Amino acid sequence: MEAKWYEEGLKMIEELTSNAEQIQDDLLKGILSRNAGTQYLRRFLHGQTDKQYFKENVPIVSYEDLKPYIDRIANGETSDILLAEPITAFFMSSGTSGGQPKLMPVTAEVAQLWAMFRTLYESPVMKHFGDLNKSGKRMEFMFARPEIETPGGLKATSVTTSIFKENGFIAMLPKLYTSPVETIFCPETQQSLYCQLLFGLIQRGEVAMVGSFFAATVLRAIKFLENHWQEMCSDIKTGQISHRITDIGCRNAASLIMKPNPALADLIEDICNSKSWEGIIRKVWPKARYVGCICTGVMEQYTTELEFYSGGLPLVSALYASSEAFCGINLEPLCKPSDVSYTFVPNMAYFEFLPVKNDGNEYIEMGSKNEVTETVDLVNVKLGHCYELLVTTSRGLYRCKIGDVLMVTGFHNNAPQFQFVKRQNVAISVDQEKTSEADLFKAVTEAKALLDPIGFILTEYTSYADTSSAPGHYVLFWELKEKEGNHCTEPDPKIMVECCVRMEESLHYTYKIYRKKNIIAPLEIRVVKQGSFEALMDYYVSKGASFSQYKRPSCIKSKEALKILDSVVIGKFFSPKPPL
C-alpha cells in the first residue's frame, strides 16, 4: 500500500532529529565553504571554513550590524558582498529597525525549505487528526501584505505573502482551502475577512480545520462574524454578496461560488442567534477537528478567549518560525498552549544558543556584564536552561540574533525541544508588530511636545496592550503636571487627541500598516491623576521590587497594576484616524 505523505514526514522527523549533530555540522560546512569569500565573511574568516575558527572569529551580531550590507544590496549592489547565492527577493519581517521593516535576503532555496518544513510541521498534526488533504478543507484566514520594491528592483514582502504567491500554493488552494485566492490578495482587510468568512460558511460541511497563522487573527475573525453574521446569512439566502464588497476580485469569486441557499442561511442564523457564543466554532463548523494557529509567545494572551469560542476543539500551535529561519515543529499537537514545545529541525539553519540568565523577569545575556561566554551548539543545550537564539544561513545571516529567548524542555532523539519564553526588547505588542521601549519613547517624545504650548508637562508614562476587544489597541497612561501651580486642570481635549495622532504617526512602519488595516484599533491616552505613578511604585515595591532599583515598567502586564491606574483615570482620548 502507498505510504501516506505524513508518514513519510514522520519518518523524516525521526531521521533528522537522530542525526542532528552531523546535519548541523555539515550544514555549517556547506554555508561557510560557499560564502567564505563574500566581502562580509572574508574579513573574519580569511578563507578558513573550520567551525571552531568560525566561532572564534565571526562576531555575534544583530540585524543592525548586517543592515549596511543588506541596504547596499537593496540599493542595487550585487548580493555577493554578503552571500554567494543570488538574492531573489526580501522577506519583510514584523520586527523593525529604526522605524523601517527589517529586510531578510531570500534565495531560490527558500521555497524548497518551506515545502519541507511544511511537510514536517503538518505530519504530526495529520497523524492525530487524519489527512486533511483527503477529508476536507482548511478554513484558514490568510491576508497578503503589500509588496514593496527596493531601489535596486528587488521585491520585499512578508514570509506568508510570498507563500501565498507560490504557484504550487495557488494551484492547491481550491481543493484544500475555503478561501479563493482573490480574497487573500484583496487589499481591503475588512472585505477580505468578510468574504473569507462567507465562503467558509457556504462550505461549512467541508471545513475540517479553522485557523490562521496567529491566534489573534482567528479571534478577530470570530468577533467579526459576531458583528456581521446577519448580513452574511442574508447573502447566503439570496445568493448575492453584500454591496459592502466592492473589490472586483472578491465579487467575481463570489459569483462563481454563490447560489441562493435559504436552508443553509436559516441553519446558520439559528446557531448564531443563540445567547452565548461559547463553542461557536464547533457549532458553525461541526466537522472541524481543531483550531490551528500559533498560540504561544505574545499570542498566549488570546488563548482563553479562543478556547471559549472553540468549544473544546484543540488549539494547535504547529510551528515556530521567523523571517530569518524556519526553526521548530510541535510533535504534540494536542498539548495545551501553555505547555507547547517546539522540536528544532536541524537542516533548516545552523543554530547556536547564547546562554541567558533568568533574573526575575529580566533575561540577561551572559557575557553582557564582562562574563566570558560561548555559544552552545544545538545538540549541547541543557535541560531547563534559557538561551537566545542565533542563526547562520546561506541567506546572508551569520551568527545573527533573532531576538527570541527560548527554554529547553526536553529532547526528541538528539534534537532539543524549546518553549518560547519571550521576545527580547519588545515592550508592547497586540498582534505581530513589535514595539520596543525605544520606539515607545520616541513616539511619546514627539507627542508630548504638543503639551508645552498649553503649559503642561508629561511627568510619567507607561503603556498597556488592551486586547479586551478585537482588534486590540495601545493604551498610554500619562500623568501630567501644569508648569505653573500645583493643581492640575484637565488639558485641552483637542490637544490630547492631537497627541494620540502624533504618537501613532511617530510609531514604526509595521504599527502604521496594521493600524491602517484595522489589525490594531485606535491608540488611546488615559490621563491619570497626579501621584498615580507613585501609587504604582508602592504597589510594585509591596510585591517585592527593590525601592532603590525600581524602574517603572514600560508596559503594564499585571491586572492589579492596571486596576490601580484605571481607578485614577481623569480623561480618555483616542486617535480619530489612522496615521499617514
- Asked if 90 is part of the footprint of ligand AMP (rule: CB under 6 A), the reply reads no
Q: How far is the CB of 339 from ligand AMP (least distance, A)?
A: 13
Q: How far is the CB of 335 from ligand AMP (least distance, A)?
A: 12
Closer to ligand AMP by Cβ: residue 181 or 294: 294
Q: How far is the CB of 120 from ligand AMP (least distance, A)?
A: 14
Q: How far is the CB of 426 from ligand AMP (least distance, A)?
A: 8
Q: How far is the CB of 529 from ligand AMP (least distance, A)?
A: 36
Query: Which secondary-structure segment (H or E) carries 17?
Result: helix 5-18
Angle among Cα 550, 554, 560 to the nearest 5 degrees reads: 75
- Asked if 462 is part of the footprint of ligand AMP (rule: CB under 6 A), the reply reads no
| String marking each residue 393-432 x if it binds ligand AMP according to CB under 6 A | ---------x-x---------------x--x--------x
The span of 130-138, 256-264, 294-302, 440-448 binding ligand AMP (CB under 6 A) equals 294-302
Within 8 A by CB and 6+ apart from 304, the residues are none
CA-based nearest residue to 235, from 255, 205, 219 = 255
Among 35, 212, 217, 296, binds ligand AMP (CB under 6 A): 296
Cis check: omega of the bond before 124, within 30 degrees of 0: no
Cα separation, 164 vs 146, whole angstroms: 12
Q: How far is the CB of 133 from ligand AMP (least distance, A)?
A: 23
Closer to ligand AMP by Cβ: residue 235 or 388: 388
Cα separation, 430 vs 436, whole angstroms: 13
CA-based nearest residue to 526, from 579, 484, 459, 572 = 572
Among 70, 126, 193, 321, binds ligand AMP (CB under 6 A): 321
Q: How far is the CB of 404 from ligand AMP (least distance, A)?
A: 5
Q: How far is the CB of 158 from ligand AMP (least distance, A)?
A: 7
Q: Which three cell numbers stand for residue 331?
A: 510533535
Instruction: Count how many residues are written for the chain.
Output: 580
Q: How far is the CB of 438 from ligand AMP (least distance, A)?
A: 17
- Asked if 322 is part of the footprint of ligand AMP (rule: CB under 6 A), the reply reads yes
Query: Which secondary-structure segment (H or E) carries 126?
Result: helix 109-129
By beta carbon distance, the residue nearest ligand AMP is: 297
Label each residue of 183-244 as H, E or C.
Answer: HHCCCCHHHHHHHHHHHHHHCHHHEEEEEEEEHHHHHHHHHHHHHHHHHHHHHHHHCCCCCC
Among 317, 424, 462, 506, binds ligand AMP (CB under 6 A): 317
The span of 35-43, 123-131, 183-191, 320-328 binding ligand AMP (CB under 6 A) equals 320-328
Q: How far is the CB of 314 from ligand AMP (least distance, A)?
A: 16
Q: How far is the CB of 343 from ligand AMP (least distance, A)?
A: 12
Closer to ligand AMP by Cβ: residue 298 or 501: 298
Q: Identify the residue whose cell numbers are 527560548.
A: 406
- The amino acid at residue 563 is K
Within 8 A by CB and 6+ apart from 379, the residues are 20, 21, 24, 414, 415, 416
Closer to ligand AMP by Cβ: residue 323 or 575: 323
| String marking each residue 232-261 x if it binds ligand AMP according to CB under 6 A | ------------------------------
State phi, psi for 290 to the nearest 5 degrees. -160, 165
- Asked if 294 is part of the footprint of ligand AMP (rule: CB under 6 A), the reply reads yes
DSSP-assigned letters across all residues of 74-103 = HTT--GGGT-SSPP-EEEEEEEEETTEEEE
The span of 25-33, 54-62, 88-96, 544-552 binding ligand AMP (CB under 6 A) equals 88-96
Helices (H) and strands (E) in the chain, counts: 21, 21
Among 136, 200, 297, 355, binds ligand AMP (CB under 6 A): 297
The separation between the first and the last C-alpha atoms of the chain, rounded to the nearest angstrom, is 59
Closer to ligand AMP by Cβ: residue 80 or 300: 300
Q: How far is the CB of 159 from ligand AMP (least distance, A)?
A: 5
Closer to ligand AMP by Cβ: residue 414 or 425: 425
Angle among Cα 458, 474, 298 to the nearest 5 degrees reads: 130
Q: Identify the residue whose cell numbers are 544583530.
A: 62
DSSP-assigned letters across all residues of 134-199 = HH-EEEEE--PPPPEE-TTS-EEE-HHHHHHHSHHHHHHHHHHBSS-HHHHS-S-HHHHHHHHHHH
- How many residues of this chain interact with ligand AMP, rule: CB under 6 A? 17
Closer to ligand AMP by Cβ: residue 182 or 404: 404
Q: State the residues that interact with ligand AMP by CB under 6 A.
A: 93-95, 159, 294, 296-297, 317, 320-323, 402, 404, 420, 423, 432
